[in-house]
A and B are shown apart, each in its own frame.
Chain A
Amino acid sequence: MRAIDSLTIHQKQALWAWVFLAVPIVFFVVVRFYPTLDSAWISLTNWSLFREPKFIGFANYRKMFADPVFWKVFANTFKYLALGLPISLLISFTVAYFLDRVRVMHGLIRGLYFVPYLTTAVAMAWVWRWFYEPVPIGLFNDVLSSLGLPQQPFLRSVDQALPSVLAPAIWAGLGFQVIIFLAGLRAIPETYYEAARIDGVGSWTILREITLPLLRPTLLFLIVISSIGFLRIFDQVYNMTVDGQGGPLNATRPLVLNIYNSAFVDYDMGYATAQTMVLFLVLLVITVVQLRLLRSS
Chain B
Amino acid sequence: MSQALHRPRIRPGRIVVWTLLMLGGIVMIMPFAYMISTSLKTPEQVYDLRLIPVRPTLKNYAALLADARFLDWFVNSLVTSTLVTVSVLFFDSLVGYTLAKYRFRGRGVVFIAILSTLMIPTEMLVIPWYLMSASLGWLDTYWGIMFPGLITGFGVFMMRQFFMTVPDELIDAARIDGLSEFRIWWEIAMPLVTPALSALAIFTFLGNWTAFLWPLIATSESTLFTVPVGLSSFASENLTRWEMVMTGAAVSTIPTLIVFILFQKYIIRGVVLSGLKG
Do A279 and B28 touch across chains, with their CB atoms under 8 A apart?
A: no
B29: chain A residues within 8 A (beta carbon): 112, 115-116
Which of B52-60, B62-70, B193-201, B229-237 has 4 or more CB atoms under 8 Å from chain A? Answer: B229-237
Which of A26-34, A64-72, A81-89, A157-165 has 4 or more CB atoms under 8 Å from chain B? Answer: A26-34
B25: chain A residues within 8 A (beta carbon): 108-109, 112-113
Measured between C-beta atoms, what is the minimum distance from B77 to chain A in Å? 10
CA A38 – CA B268 in complex, angstroms?
A: 38
Q: Mark B206-235, 1 if CB is under 8 A from A, else 0.
A: 100110110011000000000111011001
Q: Mark A236-278, 1 if CB is under 8 A from B, else 0.
A: 0011000110000000000010011001100001001100110
Q: Which of A20, A35, A102, A193 interacts with B17 by CB under 8 Å? A: A102
Do A13 and B104 touch across chains, with their CB atoms under 8 A apart?
A: yes
Do B98 and A20 touch across chains, with their CB atoms under 8 A apart?
A: yes
User: Which of A99, A175, A284 is most buried by chain B, counting CB atoms within 10 A of its CB?
Assistant: A99
| Chain B minimum-CB-distance residue to A14 | B104
Give residues of chain A (118-157) contacting chain B, Cβ–Cβ below 8 Å: 118-124, 126-128, 130-131, 133, 136-137, 139, 142
Measured between C-beta atoms, what is the minimum distance from B118 to chain A in Å? 10
Q: Is A56 an interface residue (CB 8 A)?
A: no
Do B123 and A112 touch across chains, with their CB atoms under 8 A apart?
A: no
Check A32/B120 contact, CB under 8 A, given A10-B103, A122-B231, A124-B249.
Answer: yes
CA A263 – CA B185 in complex, angstroms?
A: 43
Measured between C-beta atoms, what is the minimum distance from A194 to chain B in Å? 8
Q: Is B129 an interface residue (CB 8 A)?
A: yes
Do B252 and A120 touch across chains, with their CB atoms under 8 A apart?
A: yes
Do B121 and A283 touch across chains, with their CB atoms under 8 A apart?
A: yes
Do A112 and B35 touch across chains, with their CB atoms under 8 A apart?
A: no
Q: Is A8 an interface residue (CB 8 A)?
A: no
Do B256 and A176 touch across chains, with their CB atoms under 8 A apart?
A: no
Check A193/B8 contact, CB under 8 A, given A131-B34, A137-B46.
Answer: yes
Check A123/B253 contact, CB under 8 A, given A32-B117, A118-B267, A269-B127.
Answer: yes
B98: chain A residues within 8 A (beta carbon): 16-17, 20-21
Check A119/B113 contact, CB under 8 A, given A101-B7, A127-B249.
Answer: no
A126: chain B residues within 8 A (beta carbon): 231, 235, 245-246, 248-249
B91: chain A residues within 8 A (beta carbon): 23-24, 27
| Chain A minimum-CB-distance residue to B6 | A190
Check A190/B260 contact, CB under 8 A, given A31-B148, A118-B267.
Answer: no
CA A263 – CA B7 in complex, angstroms?
A: 54
Measured between C-beta atoms, what is the minimum distance from A58 to chain B in Å? 18
| Chain B minimum-CB-distance residue to A143 | B49
Q: Mark B17-32, 1 if CB is under 8 A from A, else 0.
A: 1101110111011011
Query: A-B contact count, CB below 8 Å?
Result: 278
A-side interface residues, number (CB < 8 Å):
103
A273: chain B residues within 8 A (beta carbon): 124, 127-128
Measured between C-beta atoms, what is the minimum distance from B143 to chain A in Å? 12
CA A296 – CA B11 in complex, angstroms?
A: 37
Do B110 and A276 touch across chains, with their CB atoms under 8 A apart?
A: no
A294: chain B residues within 8 A (beta carbon): none
CA A206 – CA B9 in complex, angstroms?
A: 12
| Chain B minimum-CB-distance residue to A29 | B113
A115: chain B residues within 8 A (beta carbon): 28-29, 32, 257, 260
| Chain A minimum-CB-distance residue to B29 | A112
Check A130/B24 contact, CB under 8 A, given A115-B32, A118-B256, A120-B209.
Answer: no
Measured between C-beta atoms, what is the minimum distance from B247 to chain A in Å? 11
Do A20 and B95 touch across chains, with their CB atoms under 8 A apart?
A: yes
Q: Is A93 an interface residue (CB 8 A)?
A: no
Q: Is B71 an interface residue (CB 8 A)?
A: no
B104: chain A residues within 8 A (beta carbon): 10, 13-14, 17-18
CA A33 – CA B151 in complex, angstroms?
A: 13
Measured between C-beta atoms, what is the minimum distance from A261 to chain B in Å? 12
Measured between C-beta atoms, what is the minimum distance from B52 to chain A in Å? 14
CA A31 – CA B126 in complex, angstroms?
A: 10
A284: chain B residues within 8 A (beta carbon): 119
Q: Mark B119-152, 1 if CB is under 8 A from A, else 0.
A: 1110111111111101000000000000110110
Q: Is B264 an interface residue (CB 8 A)?
A: yes
Q: Which of A20, A95, A137, A256 interacts with B94 by CB under 8 Å? A: A20
Check A276/B235 contact, CB under 8 A, given A13-B103, A112-B28.
Answer: no
A279: chain B residues within 8 A (beta carbon): 121, 123-124
| Residues of A that sit less than 8 Å from B by CB | 10, 13-14, 16-18, 20-21, 23-25, 27-28, 31-36, 38-39, 42, 49, 95, 98-116, 118-124, 126-128, 130-131, 133, 136-137, 139, 142, 168, 171, 174-176, 179-180, 183-184, 186, 190, 193-194, 196-197, 203, 206, 218, 221, 225, 228, 232, 234-235, 238-239, 243-244, 256, 259-260, 263-264, 269, 272-273, 276-277, 279-280, 283-284, 287
Query: Could you jot down 18 A-B contacts, CB within 8 Å?
Result: A14-B102, A14-B105, A28-B114, A28-B117, A31-B148, A32-B120, A35-B124, A39-B125, A116-B29, A122-B212, A123-B249, A139-B34, A180-B275, A221-B275, A221-B276, A238-B216, A244-B236, A277-B124
The 7 closest A-B pairs by CB, nearest first: A112-B25, A35-B128, A14-B104, A123-B249, A17-B102, A122-B228, A276-B124
